[in-house]
Amino acid sequence: MIERTLTIIKPDSVEKKNVGAIIAHLESEGFEILAARMTRLSEAQARAFYEVHKERPFYNDLVAYMTSGPVWPMCLQREDAIGYLRKVMGATNPAEAEPGTIRALYGESIERNAIHGSDSPENAAGEIAFFFPTADLA
Ligand code: GDP
């Protein structure tokens, strides 16, 4: 089934100038970019985006990291986009990610792990709407 998902190229990737390589990687895996922009998250936006993690011990660190520099949210479309992005992205901890995955290639720690990918259809829909009005999707 053709699905849409949300990725965010995270601050560590922007800092290391890996944005182009990550976009090329995603395109080579068959993802179509329906919307993309560069932005800097406010603390309130980062807290809201990661609300599901608010009880986790790393929540404040995660918010500080995600607001530390610009990010690139993108809406991606592909067959089985949600599951396939999770596969191409690799495990949360880059040290445990399959070789060749984006996190294995570009991540540096369990926190600074290069990109985000929605983990379910419900979250994908909510996360796409968080960043992009429907009218902006190609
Ligand atoms: P994901 O779906 O693979 O991104 O992983 P989660 O939803 O579990 O976590 C969200 C984000 O929080 C991760 O992508 C990391 O940036 C960060 N994170 C997850 N686990 C840890 C942790 O144990 N410590 C720290 N500092 N950050 C973490």
By most ligand atoms within 8 Å of CB, the mutation choice from 49, 50, 58, 67 for ligand 1 is: 58
* Total domains, the chain: 1
Over residues 20-35, the mean pLDDT reads: 98
Check whether 35 has a pLDDT greater than 90: yes
Check whether 137 has a pLDDT greater than 90: no
| Contacts of 78 by beta carbon, 8 Å cutoff, 6+ apart | 2, 3, 5, 29, 30, 31, 32, 84, 85
Q: Is the CB of 113 under 6 A from ligand 1?
A: yes
User: What is the reported pTM?
Assistant: 0.97
CATH number of the domain that 6 lies in? 3.30.70.141
Check whether 33 has a pLDDT greater than 80: yes
Which residues lie across from 115 on neighbouring strands? 9
Q: Which range of residues forms the domain containing residue 89?
A: 2-136
